[in-house]
Amino acid sequence: MARNRPVSAVDAAFRTEWTRLVATLTRELRDLQLAEDAAQEAFVEASRRWRTDGPPRSPGAWLLTTARRKAIDVVRRDRRFADRLPVLAEADDAAPSGQRLVDDQLALVFGCCHPALAVDLQVALTLRSVAGLTTEQIAHAFLVPVPTMAKRLVRAKHKLRAAAIPFVVPEPEHLQSRLAAVCGVVYAIFTEGHTSSSGRSLLRGNLCDEAIFLAETLAELLPAEGEARGLAALCLLTDARRLTREDDEGRPVLLPDQDRDRWDREQIDRGLRHLLAAHTTGSAGTYELQATIAALHATAPTYAATDWRAIVTIYDTMLRSGGGPVVALNRAAAIAEWRGPRAGLAALDELDADALHDYPYLHSARAELLTRSGDDAAALPAYDRAIEHAGNEAQRSWLADRRAEAAARIRSG
């Protein structure tokens, strides 16, 4: 999962096979916990055996056969699950392929993101069962104590069992709304990784990697769905700038000051491919629109040479389709780049300030535009309000520096 680390055969198999393995086992065992336990044990066995015997020719089939054997042991001991035995006993050694494998994985994702589960449970389950993170890793990523996350997962799995939440691909009439919920969970994971609003660090790479993995998996499983493609594009194009978004001391570096040579070109290309595929489905959803903006940034040679006019147009589209005050704020910032800080300030004045009263970016955007238009004195109270509502230490310290610069300019008159 971490980048630039030599991976063993087991690690490599984990990334490609975990989801498939848990998905197929969940169908056969009709129980997520049994499936996960069996998959886990198969990987433990793999790390023991592959080291001495070398990896098998087909790691997926080896893991599935091993996991089924482990599951048979469990099912034999626990008579609650006795009715699962025939399916396991009759299973041949081949791993499912084609549509069966696609449906298994979709069923797993839709089950973990079932709307009968609270969203925080959906997020935890998806990271545990679909992405294969350990409870400790998830707890660490969300900055909660391990027992808290463990309890959350237990609660989720208890409800799965007790309420008989099915692991199935939703009926066509429910597919769009259920997919939107899944995309929402993946995007929540990405956002949590991208910006921590409560922790000390601005970037937590691991969750971004997991969200990208989930989004690309979803796009691969549902190639005709623009929403999944758009989400994959958005995550990739945004995350491509990850390394340049903070300085060595962990403080934010804004878009104009980012070193574009260090943006991840491979990830940008992958994102653009998903975006193009999303465009061809013809259903411009919200992720696709956001991804288009991210693409305009990612492909602009410099900040000044960015196509701000096109970006403003996309924000207009988002506002027309129900975009909220945050969209309007971003639009105002783009207008400032397109037609100057005064035009940006005018656009800020038009938006619903009450809805954004506690939103630090409204105040920091106003402060920045006032500074750029030469009105440092008016910028100071705006910086004060941004600092008051800042979500984390890094933001606060960055804003305090900007305020100090403006104050110094006033003094030197």
Partner 1 sequence: MKYMLALYSDPANEPADGSPEQAKDMERWFAYTNDLVEAGAMLGGEGLQGPETATTVRVREGSTITSDGPFAETKEVLGGFYVIEAPDLDAAIGWAAKIPNVNHGTVEVWPVMEFDGE
- Least separation in angstroms between residue 333's CB and partner 1 is 42
C-alpha torsion 178→183→189→191, nearest 10: -130
**Binding segment toward partner 1, per CB under 8 A, in 156-164, 185-193, 207-215, 266-274:** 156-164
SS3 (DSSP) at 75: helix
Please give the single-letter amino acid code of residue 252.
P
Considering the complex, state which of residue 33 and residue 397 has its C-beta at the smaller distance from partner 1: 33
Per-residue exposure over 92-122, b if at least 16 CB sit within 10 Å of its own CB, e if not: eeebbeeeebbbbbbbbbbbbbbeebeebbb
Stretch that binds partner 1, among 123-131, 164-172, 343-351, 383-391 (CB under 8 A): 164-172
Give the residue with the Cβ less far from partner 1, 165 or 345. 165
| Binds partner 1 (CB under 8 A): choice among 145, 166, 256, 374 | 166
Binding to partner 1 by residue 404, rule CB under 8 A?
no
Give min distance, CB of 87 to partner 1, in A. 17
The yes or no reply on residue 154 touching partner 1 (CB under 8 A) is: no
**Least distance to partner 1, CB of residue 197, Å:** 32
What does the DSSP 8-state code read for residue 246?
Answer: B
- Residue closer to partner 1 (CB basis): 117 or 123: 117
Closest distance of CB 164 from partner 1, Å: 5
What span, in angstroms and rounded, lies between the C-alpha atoms of 367 and 344?
Answer: 11
- Residue appearing with tokens 């025939």: 86
The least CB distance from residue 107 to partner 1, in Å, is 12
Chosen residue from 12, 85, 94, 163 binding partner 1 by CB under 8 A? 163
CB of 100 to partner 1, least distance (A): 20
Dihedral sign of CA atoms 387, 391, 393, 399 in order: negative
Q: How far apart are CA 315 and CA 294, in angstroms?
A: 12
Of residues 211, 152, 224, the one with CA closest to residue 183: 211
Residue closer to partner 1 by CB (options 79, 411) is 79
**Which of 44, 168, 377, 408 touches partner 1 (CB under 8 A)?**
168
Q: Which two tokens stand for residue 28?
A: 């056969």
Smallest distance from partner 1 to CB 114, Å: 8
User: With CB under 8 A, what is the number of residues at the site for partner 1?
Assistant: 9
Q: Does 162 bind partner 1 (CB under 8 A)?
A: yes
CA-nearest of 34, 36, 46 to 74 is 34
In the list 38, 165, 215, 228, the residue contacting partner 1 (rule: CB under 8 A) is 165
Residues 6 or more apart from 337 whose CB is under 8 A from it? Answer: 306, 308, 344
166 vs 250, beta carbon nearer partner 1: 166
Q: What's the rounded Cα separation, in Å, for the pair 292 and 131?
A: 26
CA distances from residue 219 to 102, 262, 385 in whole angstroms, order as listed: 11, 27, 41
Considering the complex, what minimum distance in angstroms separates the CB of residue 192 from partner 1? Answer: 27
Q: Say how many C-beta atoms besides its own lie within 10 A of residue 22's C-beta.
A: 26
Is there binding between residue 114 and partner 1 (CB under 8 A)? yes
Among 7, 44, 82, 116, binds partner 1 (CB under 8 A): 116
Considering only residues 169-198, where is the footprint of partner 1 by CB under 8 A? Answer: 170
Choose between 173 and 266: whose C-beta lies nearer to partner 1.
173
In this structure, what DSSP letter does residue 203 have? Answer: -
Tokens encoding 73: 């042991």
Residues that bind partner 1 (CB under 8 A): 114, 116, 162-166, 168, 170
